[in-house]
Structure 1
């Protein structure tokens, strides 16, 4: 292979995150062929590309295709496990019903379809369901804020004690959902929390741009970016992404050196530099203030 051809075939993680990227085209084709949720397939692929990317953030087109194929096979199996919960009828946004959603069914959806492949224990779950079959079109979970660094910054800079902040810990929206479904759901959740949860003053969430997320639904619901979090490498076990919480639950530790010693060859760490996560916030009562970029603190993990 000539040097010119080799250069043409190499992509960057930044290339893949763009909405008009080669990844988008390949994902769309693979989803149509296999009856998959395109958005879920794109996010899963982006989650696993850092595992194969070089330290400079580049990878080959062949590696991209292989990861789409592997993620697609996993997603197809996951969709099959909860086929009865996947909606296939379109409804207008104003026809959807806002409900407290079943903890068991939310856990099944988040465990099988959310990119983290887990539900947050102790959460309240909400959904927009269709008026005929009562299937969830968009859903989310709300949990007490556990992120200590974020909690400390909220208390110091915004006078919000951590115990009075709750986190939108999971969001999943099926591709059949109408436009603006997530922002509409977030507005409904805020109203519910304001009326039913007097001990909660603030809602927060983390947005990971490495997965192509921009926070547009939160902005549309009048949330504002208040701070950012420095990235840490993604970790994988047997080529599957694993969060620190999942590693601690499975192995009793999230320490990379210890895991590599105990499970040689099974644990991998991404090498490419990742983008900061952003923290969006929304006051439960009153207007949420805009925070100028220069006043947004960058937190370390």
Structure 2
């Protein structure tokens, strides 16, 4: 890639800069993806997840650090893609040619565990996908599982009168670069129809959107979901330089206590220092219209 004199002298970028689709960071991602034969979108998200580990308190990251994280993320993503190569679609099809299916749980878990930024599947989920008409490979897929987030569940009960046991969560979404425009919103509409016609004890679907990874919720808005609340960001956690959620830490080590992890397990544990953006909670009524919630009426939940 040819860089302008201004770009070549840029030594630090903010995390906000890196989230913008037209930034120098996006140029660096595109070049790294091309060299490594990777999907730019997947590499972008994985790198954005790990940049807060090396960012300063003011949210800036050195260009050299960005390039190092890009190389590490590209190497990991390349390895993960190779492990499930047979499940990765390479051909593009129009949206109307894709088939909506309830997708095989084992294959969905393989994709989410290797390619989703959380690198894990949610147990007890139903999985749905748009698959190509030739090989039956998933172009866009999601998992939906009973809502486990207690704070969100309590707020839904208090403010909207929806019991937590009647709420399911779109807990994982992954779309390959060959997916046509509007594939995710089309998939979400199909999933809602399944719950509307087949699942009588679910009234609401929810999801959490993390803007720190460049997600805006546009696919949910296009599917007529609405933002109902936000939830305070907490620092990202890393074990041996790889992101790990508190749930993953508890599953792997039996604890999410950082001091205990370092003492008992000898793990190199870090957490992000820069201020992160709050996650947003989007909701969709399974039956009937989903009401718009004015910004002043949207509660900010604390962790």
TM-score (norm 1): 0.97
Distance 1:178 1:141 in 2: 20
- Structure 2 residue 245 is matched with structure 1 residue 246: no
Shift of 1:22: 1.3
CA distance 1:197–1:260, change in 2 (3 Å): same
Residues 10, 63 of structure 2: 8 Å contact kept: no
For residues 64-105 of structure 1, give each alpha carbon's deviation from its aligned partner in whole angstroms, at most 9, with x where no partner exists.
000011100000000000000000111000000000000000
Alignment of 1:160-175 (within 5 A): 160-175=162-177
Alignment of 1:86-235 (within 5 A): 86-235=88-237
Aligned residues between the structures: 298
For residues 147-171 of structure 1, give each alpha carbon's deviation from its aligned partner in whole angstroms, at most 9, with x where no partner exists.
0000000000000000000000000
Distance 1:28 1:65 in 2: 12
Aligned to 1:14: 16
Aligned to 2:3: none
Distance 1:7 1:153 in 2: 48
Aligned to 2:282: 280
Residues 45, 117 of structure 2: 8 Å contact kept: yes
State the secondary structure of the residue aligned to 2:121: coil
CA distance 1:265–1:84, change in 2 (3 Å): closer
Aligned to 1:74: 76
**Structure 2 portions without partners, runs of 5+:** 1-6
CA RMSD, 1 decimal? 1.5
CA distance 1:166–1:265, change in 2 (3 Å): closer
Determine which of 7, 25, 28 is the counterpart of 1:26: 28
